[in-house]
């Protein structure tokens, strides 16, 4: 019998009525002849409520205690769903992260999964039980509760699917799949039937918030076939799997935009070896992720270095950089906050040449100036003036034939 | 260093402000030089909220799932208190029932404690940590979460105190001790400084809701000195301990009333051997607790049997008894709901004779008819017409010198 892991996010279990709808869907899947394991998040709003309680108690809550607190949310939903299913005559049983054997490292509030034992789940499946598993949580070596960070329930589902060698892991969420672009910006955007792990990873890291990045990575590494589907309407959703011919036929799978970056430019940097390390060392130590770096060709002995950082880290980055500027005797620092990054993603780029030049052409035709460029095997990103972001996305979406392509 | 186990009930941790007050008290105790372990209930109202959620999901929720659900409440309060204490610079750490090693039998929603390992608590105390323990919960042999029934946090505290050989177990609640009578009925009732385990047990079973009966039993068996104290005002509270000379000096420690009983009388019962078993067998099998039984002296070959059952079980008891009445060919069944039980409790009764006769005299002087009587070594109970209950309590309280006695 085929085994499916289903994961329902917070908006899908946000009330008793919604939990009953999840029970309907689980019952249907069961009656269609599948073995299944269900992974749940906390009710939407619950995690925020608990975080607020903690912040009322103390300004900087201890992280171990935070995990003890936050891990209660999923226990409530799994108990309620298991009750609902048992009330309908299905043999369901709830399991915490510990009971499933989700072993993590010791870093509270953002633990990494080290191992998934899943003995009790295997046993339950053998007995014909439907296991209902608390997402987002595990235990460390000391047997203390840990949590996997926001969106961690996706990771629980994927890790369980890998451990159980499930035939599919379906992520039920409030959107019905992965789109060629954000439909609120591009009304003609299409839902993708299939997308590769790599594309999905790039899309996740570029701000498409359908799946947590770490869970996509995990799925790719363990070859878990993922499906993203809406828990509110019927539909086949988007399949995330290994690259295939279909995916390669299209040069570009999707267009995304990201407003969460800011640009720093250090002007008049002495052009000598070791300068980059002096600049970026302290930034990296402060755990600030630098996305793009451009070093202008030097004029004489001086050069300019531009780079982007997450907008939330701008303040911290500035104070670090200003110190460095003095040390290395550069001229000054300039900040541009009103930037945005527009990106094309697609495994087809590997075999289709000319995607980059076509992208530059389209942007130039719209009068959009490109400030920075970065490329990878399956992605091209340009930093542009923020005010042109929607225009750029729409123009690229049309130019690369995503509007009219058949699904 | 002396070790104290402190237990705070739901009304004592019902809000962030109240949790901060508990933290104040814990900090004070610590600074006064004590080692301490803190046991908490869920925030008042939280258990009811969770029960309501469950009942919205299904009319008769599975008990294992109910335990998974209900055990979340204490995890929230222990995390919040541990955070608060850590925020103040105290080395506190929260522990679930499992982490403490509270091993129970398998009966969900009303599990009995089989063993308390407490290894992590001992370890924590050695490290100078203040352990904050979730009350009301344990795990069974399958490593599933169990709960100890309403008021089970008292039991957690007492069991931990016994396992750790603590010098004292203090139960903080919303009253400041055990009284000679309910102060809302007898304004001149006095707080008792000391009461014996046995007296406390009788008082608990008679409806004085200060301490859960099972926890008093446990404390008596393991000789854990208990103190009942208010978490809202200062005061020395009531000490529950082994009998001593002081307690024996007074014939009566307290007067209590109980309205939760109903009386059934089977009229015209054939007076032959085996009849009592035929009547009470089915009632016992249905888990209905029969409190008092009176069989009238037979007139010829027929007799009457009266007995009391909890008022909530009256309906079930009636239908069982009506079946029996037909089988044994008795005449009929009469029900009296408007009864109440008034009781005197005191270890001094063992050495003071004449308590019973004095009690009957006082009730008779007030014109109160006695329907049933039962006595034990340290208790005398009379069933009377419900409308006279307050009058009876006040008259007995005065007659046995409880009003004016020095504390």
Find tokens 């303040």 and name the residue. A315
Closest residue in chain B to residue A76, using alpha carbons only: B69
Judge whether A169 lies within some domain. Answer: yes
Mutation site, B57, B77, B97, B134, interface A, largest A CB count within 10 A: B57
Asked if residue B156 and residue B21 are part of one domain, the reply reads yes
Q: How far is CA A269 from CA A326, A363, A371, A376, in A?
A: 11, 30, 19, 27
Q: Is A51 on the interface with B (CB under 8 A)?
A: no
A385 exposure class (CB count in 10 Å sphere: 0-12, 13-18, 19+)? middle
Q: Which chain A residues contact residue B22 at CB under 8 A?
A: none
Looking up tokens 């070896």, which residue turns up?
Answer: A273
**Would the pLDDT of B404 be above 70?**
no
Q: Do A50 and B76 touch (CB under 8 A)?
A: yes
- Could you tell me the pLDDT band of residue B299, with boundaries at 50, 70 and 90? low
Q: What is the pLDDT of residues B76-119, one digit of tens each?
A: 999 999 999 999 999 999 999 999 999 999 999 999 999 999 99
Q: Which of B32, B2, B7, B78 lies closest to B228, judged by CA?
A: B7
Q: Does B69 touch chain A (CB under 8 A)?
A: yes
Could you tell me whether strands A137-139 and A145-147 are parallel, antiparallel, or unpaired per DSSP bridges?
Answer: antiparallel
One domain for residues B17 and B156: yes
Is the CB of B65 inside 8 Å of chain A's CB atoms?
yes
Last residue in a domain, options B174, B205, B223: B174
B47 touches chain A (CB under 8 A): no
User: Is there a contact between A62 and B56 if contact means CB atoms under 8 Å apart?
Assistant: no
Any domain includes B381: yes
From the list B57, B79, B80, the residue facing A83 with the nearest CB is B57
Cβ within 8 Å, pair A57-B16? yes
Closest Cα in chain A, distance from residue B98 (Å): 10
**pLDDT at B274 (0 to 100):** 82
pLDDT at B407: 44
Averaged pLDDT for residues B239-268: 90
Question: Where do the DSSP E strands lie in B237-371?
Answer: 238-241, 254-258, 261-270, 293-295, 302-310, 332-336, 339-345
**Residues B288 and B311 both lie in one domain:** yes
Chain A residue closest in CA terms to B57: A84
CATH of the domain at B87: 3.40.1160.10
Q: Report which DSSP code applies to B179.
A: B
Nearest chain B Cα distance for residue A320, angstroms: 29
Residue B182 lies in a domain: no
Q: What gap in Å lies between CA B46 and CA A81, rounded to an integer?
A: 19
Question: CB of B72 within 8 A of CB of B113?
Answer: no
Do B272 and B131 fall into the same domain? no
The alpha-carbon gap from B88 to the nearest alpha carbon of chain A, in Å, equals 9
Residue B245 lies in a domain: no
d(CA A308, CA B358): 91
Tell me: do B311 and B373 sit in the same domain.
no
B131 belongs to a structural domain: yes
Residue B164 and residue B25 share a domain:
yes
Q: For A41-173, list the strands marked E by DSSP.
A: 92-95, 102-104, 113-116, 130-134, 137-139, 145-147, 168-173
**Residues B86 and B35 grouped into a single domain:** yes
Residue of A nearest to B62 (CA): A83
Taking the Cβ of residue B96 and every Cβ of chain A, the question of whether any pair is shorter than 8 Å is answered with yes
pLDDT over 70 percentage in chain A:
97
Same domain, B377 and B280: no
CA–CA dist A146, B217 (Å, integer):
37
Q: Do B61 and A93 touch (CB under 8 A)?
A: no
Assigned domain for B21 exists: yes
Which pLDDT value is given to residue A298?
62
How distant is the Cα of B87 from the closest Cα of chain A, in angstroms? 6
**How many CA atoms, within 13 angstroms, populate the side-chain half-sphere of residue A62?**
20
Residue A325 is predicted with a pLDDT of 92
Which of B134, B153, B174 marks a domain boundary?
B174
**Chain B, window 296-325: residues with a beta carbon less than 8 angstroms from a chain A beta carbon:** none
Question: How near does any CA of chain B get to the CA of A124, in Å?
Answer: 13
Q: What is the pLDDT of residues B234-243, one digit of tens each?
A: 888 999 999 8
Of B56, B71, B94, which is closest to A68 when you measure between CB atoms?
Answer: B94
Task: Kindly report the CATH number assigned to the domain that includes residue B357.
Answer: 3.30.2130.10
B18 touches chain A (CB under 8 A): no
Q: Which of A43, A51, A80, A117 to mutate to test the interface with B (most CBs of B within 10 A)?
A: A80
Average pLDDT over residues B284-292: 88
* Total count of domains within chain B: 3
Chain B residues with CB-CB distance to A64 below 8 A: 93-94
A79 part of contact set with chain B, CB < 8 Å = yes
Check B99 against A59: CB less than 8 A apart. Answer: no
Nearest one of B55, B59, B76 to A16, comparing CA atoms: B55
Give pTM, 2 decimals: 0.85
Q: Are both B7 and B121 inside the same structural domain?
A: yes
What pLDDT, on the 0 to 100 scale, is given for residue A207? 60
User: Quick one: pLDDT band at residue B406, thresholds 50, 70, 90?
Assistant: very low
Average pLDDT, chain B: 92
pLDDT of residue B351: 84
From residue A313, alpha-carbon distances to A103, A236, A261, A283 in Å are 32, 39, 9, 10
Integer angstrom CA distances of residue B45 from A313, B13, B51: 41, 11, 10
β-partners of residue A364 are none
Contact (CB<8Å) B58/A96: no
User: What confidence tens digit (pLDDT) does each residue in B135-188 have?
Assistant: 999 999 999 999 998 789 999 999 999 999 999 999 998 888 899 998 889 999
Same domain (yes/no): B93, B168: yes
Please answer yes or no on whether B72 and A68 come within 8 Å at the CB atom: no
Decide if B85 contacts B27 (C-beta within 8 A).
yes
The nearest CA of chain B is from the CA of A153 a distance in Å of 18
B57 interfacial to chain A (CB closer than 8 Å): yes
**A-chain residue closest to B16, CA distance:** A57
The distance in angstroms from the start CA to the end CA of chain A is 30
| CB proximity B59 to A under 8 Å | yes
Asked whether A267 and A301 are in contact (CB, 8 A), the reply is no
Q: How many angstroms separate the first and last alpha carbons of chain B?
A: 30
Q: Which residues of chain A have pLDDT under 50?
A: 406-407
Is any Cβ of chain A less than 8 angstroms from the Cβ of B90?
no
Of the listed ranges A178-182, A208-212, B128-132, B265-269, the least confidently predicted one is A208-212
Domain that holds residue B168: 3-174
- The mean pLDDT of B1-29, rounded to a whole number, is 95
Do B143 and B270 lie in a common domain? no
The answer to whether residue B66 is domain-embedded is yes
Query: Domain check: are B297 and B387 in the same one?
Result: no
């Amino acid at each position: 019998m085929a085994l499916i892991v289903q994961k329902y996010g917070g908006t899908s279990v946000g009330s008793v009525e919604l939990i009953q709808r999840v029970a309907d869907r689980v019952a249907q899947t069961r009656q269609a002849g599948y073995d299944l394991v269900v992974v749940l998040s906390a009710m939407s709003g619950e995690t925020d409520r608990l975080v607020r309680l903690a912040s009322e108690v103390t300004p900087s809550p201890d992280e171990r205690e935070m995990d003890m607190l936050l891990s209660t949310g999923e226990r409530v939903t799994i108990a309620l769903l298991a009750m609902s299913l048992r009330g309908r005559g299905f043999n369901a049983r709830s399991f915490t992260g510990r009971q499933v054997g989700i072993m993590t490292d010791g870093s509270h509030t953002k633990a990494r999964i080290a191992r998934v034992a899943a003995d009790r789940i295997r046993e339950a499946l053998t007995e014909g039980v439907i296991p209902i598993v608390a997402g987002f949580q595990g235990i460390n070596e000391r047997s203390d509760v840990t949590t996997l960070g926001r969106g961690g329930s996706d990771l629980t589902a994927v890790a369980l699917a890998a451990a159980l060698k499930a035939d599919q892991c379906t992520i039920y969420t409030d959107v019905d799949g992965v789109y060629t672009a954000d439909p609120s910006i591009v009304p003609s955007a299409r839902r993708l039937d299939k997308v590769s792990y790599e594309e999905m990873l790039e899309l996740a890291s570029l701000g498409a918030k359908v799946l947590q990045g770490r869970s996509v990575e995990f799925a790719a590494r363990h070859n878990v076939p993922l499906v993203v589907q809406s828990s509110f309407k019927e539909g086949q959703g988007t399949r995330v799997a290994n690259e295939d011919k279909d995916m390669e036929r299209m040069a570009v799978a999707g267009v995304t935009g990201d407003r969460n970056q800011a640009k720093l430019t250090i002007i008049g940097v002495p052009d000598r070896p070791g300068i980059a390390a002096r600049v970026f060392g302290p930034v990296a130590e402060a755990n600030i992720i630098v996305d793009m770096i451009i070093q202008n060709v030097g004029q004489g002995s001086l050069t300019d270095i531009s780079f982007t950082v997450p907008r939330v880290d701008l303040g911290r980055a500035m104070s670090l950089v200003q110190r460095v500027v003095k040390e290395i005797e550069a001229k000054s620092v300039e900040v541009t906050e009103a930037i945005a990054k527009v990106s094309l993603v697609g495994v087809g780029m590997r075999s289709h040449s000319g995607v980059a030049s076509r992208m530059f052409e389209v942007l130039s035709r719209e009068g959009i100036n490109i400030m920075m460029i970065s490329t990878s095997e399956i992605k091209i990103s340009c930093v542009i003036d923020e005010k042109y972001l929607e225009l750029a996305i729409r123009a690229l979406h049309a130019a690369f034939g995503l509007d009219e392509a058949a699904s």
